[in-house]
């Protein structure tokens, strides 16, 4: 790339503009843009990027190598995504998720479901260090309870994601919580303690907002209708509380620092075992009524394909329908398309050009931290990957923070307050695509209600402007201008 011309800012931003415009057009023309329309738009935008790069004498071989590396970096996320589909199907046929919905309807009330969702997902995510695992297990059950109550699923999903990403940020087991301080040059627990100043207020404010909204949530379902739903679940599933052993075992497995892929495999295997032990009547039902040949076929179908219940209660059938690994294919398509776009943008030097324009405007501590927050968000939008949104800005800005006299934890906190939490708000980012698919709620439907994710960068920027606990290298024990 030595002979290539340096792209102008207009050239660098053009593919992003094309992407945003075409995505908006897709929203007007497609009910399910994630079925292929948005993926195609990402590839078209990547093509525009390549054309501009070709004009700047960027070689196709270089672009292809960058795309290949981006796709390779996403393979772990894709494998986890398939396993989430498998786990979801196995936990449905085993009765684990139906059991959670069954007791959740009895114990919960629409007025405090949102607050309870944030608290439960926060605790589970801190324990596991994984927002993905939390959403795929507790989140799926909670979204089912919210649907049974007749609540806005986008609102419930926002509460789930707010709690899950709080725990993901604050858990020493989280990959991003370890990655950010490693990139910035500080240690893990200094980073976590320093995040309390921004993450704590953002979480508490979110909890208050959900609490206030909950006061006005009565649900659209009567007590009789909820009893009807519970009866529909109980008539087909064994709702024994012993089924809770499986999620508890999975949490222990993850807490013991088992990598995500083996942990998900273990969770799926435990789900299948639970189905054999606790749901023999249901498996027989699928054989005698639904036309399956044997239990093996039922279990395999639940893991990889579509499973529909016919309980006689339409609301229950909707709650318990699963698509297994095959249901994740459109999301995998989206992630691969996003990696093509991100790889092309990186190869043509557009990402560095956009972020460089931001960095050039840095004048003081507020613009320094603000540029960091905005750069991470831009990387989540353009590179479409949570890890790149932490790694690249972190590497670019580490020296600048030191030159300005700020401790590395100021940088690591900014990386997490933007890169980690905003990834789930971008529909074509691997995080946003995954959570939308797992919860069955479109990204733009839950985005307005992800209060913690929206507040985190704003709280960071506000405290920076107020010069509250902004650590300088010259004096690490006090705040300084």
Rounded Cα distance, 356 and 362, in Å:
10
Q: Which residues pair with residue 406 across a beta bridge?
A: 472
Residues 393, 279 within the same domain: no
Residues 21, 112 within the same domain: no
Would residue 111 count as lying in a domain?
yes
Residues 61, 100 within the same domain: no
Residues 335, 474 within the same domain: yes
How large a percentage of the chain has pLDDT more than 90? 40
Long-range contacts of 53-59 (CB under 8 A, 24+ apart): 53/4, 53/7, 53/344, 53/347, 53/348, 53/349, 56/4, 56/5, 56/6, 56/7, 56/11, 56/348, 56/349, 57/3, 57/4, 57/5, 58/1, 58/4, 58/347, 58/348, 58/349, 59/1
Rounded Cα distance, 447 and 443, in Å:
6
Would residue 467 count as lying in a domain?
yes
Q: What is the pLDDT of residue 317?
A: 79
Would residue 286 count as lying in a domain?
yes
Residues 307, 407 within the same domain: no
Would residue 69 count as lying in a domain?
yes
In sequence order, the 6+-apart residues with CB closer than 8 A to the CB of 32 are none
Q: What is the pLDDT of residue 356?
A: 81
Domain count, the chain: 2
Residues 310, 346 within the same domain: no
Question: How does pLDDT run across 152-206, given as a tens digit for each residue?
Answer: 999 999 999 999 999 889 888 787 888 888 888 888 888 999 999 999 999 999 9
Rounded Cα distance, 390 and 438, in Å:
24
Last residue of a domain, one of 302, 322, 342: 322
Last residue of a domain, one of 269, 298, 322: 322
Rounded Cα distance, 316 and 141, in Å:
13
Q: What is the pLDDT of residue 1?
A: 44
Question: How does pLDDT run across 310-327, given as a tens digit for each residue?
Answer: 777 777 777 778 888 998
In b/e form, how buried is each residue of 377-391, taking b as 16+ CB within 10 angstroms? bbbbbbbbbbbbbbb
The rounded mean pLDDT for the chain is: 87
Longest dimension (CA), the chain: 75
Rounded Cα distance, 479 and 481, in Å:
7
Residues 173, 310 within the same domain: yes
Residues 140, 208 within the same domain: yes
pLDDT at 413 over 50: yes
Overall pTM > 0.75? yes
Question: How does pLDDT run across 247-260, given as a tens digit for each residue?
Answer: 899 888 877 878 87
Rounded Cα distance, 21 and 2, in Å:
32
Last residue of a domain, one of 267, 298, 322: 322
Quick one: DSSP state of residue 479? E
Residue range of the domain that includes 56: 9-75+329-479
Which of the two residues, 312 and 330, has the higher pLDDT score? 330
What 3-state DSSP class applies to 307? strand
Residues 304, 168 within the same domain: yes
Could you identify the residue written with the tokens 């992003």?
Answer: 16
Would residue 392 count as lying in a domain?
yes
End-to-end CA separation in angstroms for the chain? 41
Rounded Cα distance, 255 and 249, in Å:
10
Would residue 2 count as lying in a domain?
no
Residues 71, 167 within the same domain: no
pLDDT at 478 over 50: no
Q: What is the pLDDT of residue 226?
A: 78
Residues 175, 133 within the same domain: yes
Question: How does pLDDT run across 107-143, given as a tens digit for each residue?
Answer: 788 888 999 999 999 988 887 778 888 898 889 889 9
Residues 70, 156 within the same domain: no
Would residue 3 count as lying in a domain?
no
pLDDT at 480 over 50: no
Q: What is the pLDDT of residue 450?
A: 96
């Amino acid at each position: 790339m030595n002979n290539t011309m340096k792209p102008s800012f207009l050239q660098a931003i053009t593919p992003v503009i094309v992407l945003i415009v075409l995505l908006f057009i897709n929203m007007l023309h497609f009910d399910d843009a994630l079925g292929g329309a948005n993926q195609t738009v990402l590839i078209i935008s990547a093509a525009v990027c390549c054309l501009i790069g070709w004009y700047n004498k960027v070689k196709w071989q270089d672009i292809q190598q960058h795309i290949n590396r981006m796709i390779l970096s996403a393979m772990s996320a894709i494998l986890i995504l398939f396993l989430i589909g498998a786990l979801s199907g196995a936990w449905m046929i085993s009765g684990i998720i139906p059991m959670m919905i069954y007791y959740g309807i009895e114990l919960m009330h629409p007025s405090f479901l949102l607050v309870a969702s944030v608290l439960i997902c926060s605790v589970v995510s801190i324990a596991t260090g994984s927002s993905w695992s939390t959403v795929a297990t507790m989140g799926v059950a909670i979204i089912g309870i919210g649907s049974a109550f007749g609540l806005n699923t986008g609102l419930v999903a926002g509460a789930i994601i707010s709690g899950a990403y709080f725990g993901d940020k604050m858990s020493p087991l989280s990959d991003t919580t370890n990655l950010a301080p490693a990139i910035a040059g500080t240690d893990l627990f200094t980073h976590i303690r320093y995040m309390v100043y921004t993450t704590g207020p953002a979480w508490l404010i979110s909890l208050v907002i959900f609490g206030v909204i909950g006061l006005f949530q009565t649900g659209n379902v009567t007590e009789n209708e909820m009893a009807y739903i519970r009866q529909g679940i109980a008539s087909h599933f064994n709702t024994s509380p012993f089924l809770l052993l499986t999620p508890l075992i999975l949490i222990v497995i993850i807490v013991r620092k088992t990598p995500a892929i083996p942990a998900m495999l273990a969770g799926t295997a435990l789900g299948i075992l639970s189905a054999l032990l606790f749901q023999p009547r249901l498996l027989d039902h699928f054989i005698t009524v639904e036309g399956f040949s044997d239990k093996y076929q039922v279990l395999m179908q639940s893991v990889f394909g579509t499973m529909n219940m016919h309980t006689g209660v339409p609301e229950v059938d909707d709650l318990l329908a699963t698509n297994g690994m095959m249901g994740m294919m459109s999301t995998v398509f989206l992630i691969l398309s996003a990696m093509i776009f991100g790889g092309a943008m990186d190869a043509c030097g557009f990402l560095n050009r956009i972020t460089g324009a931001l960095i050039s405007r840095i004048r003081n501590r507020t613009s320094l931290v603000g540029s960091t927050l905005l750069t991470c968000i831009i990387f989540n939008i353009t590179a479409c990957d949570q890890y790149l949104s932490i790694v690249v800005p972190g590497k670019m800005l580490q020296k600048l923070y030191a030159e300005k006299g700020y401790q590395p934890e100021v940088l690591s906190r900014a990386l997490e307050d933007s890169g980690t939490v905003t990834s789930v708000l971008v529909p074509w980012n691997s995080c946003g695509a995954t959570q939308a698919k797992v919860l069955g709620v479109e990204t733009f439907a839950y985005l307005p209600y992800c209060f913690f994710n929206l507040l985190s960068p704003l709280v960071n920027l506000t405290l920076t402007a107020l010069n509250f606990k902004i650590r300088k290298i010259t004096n690490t024990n006090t705040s300084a201008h």
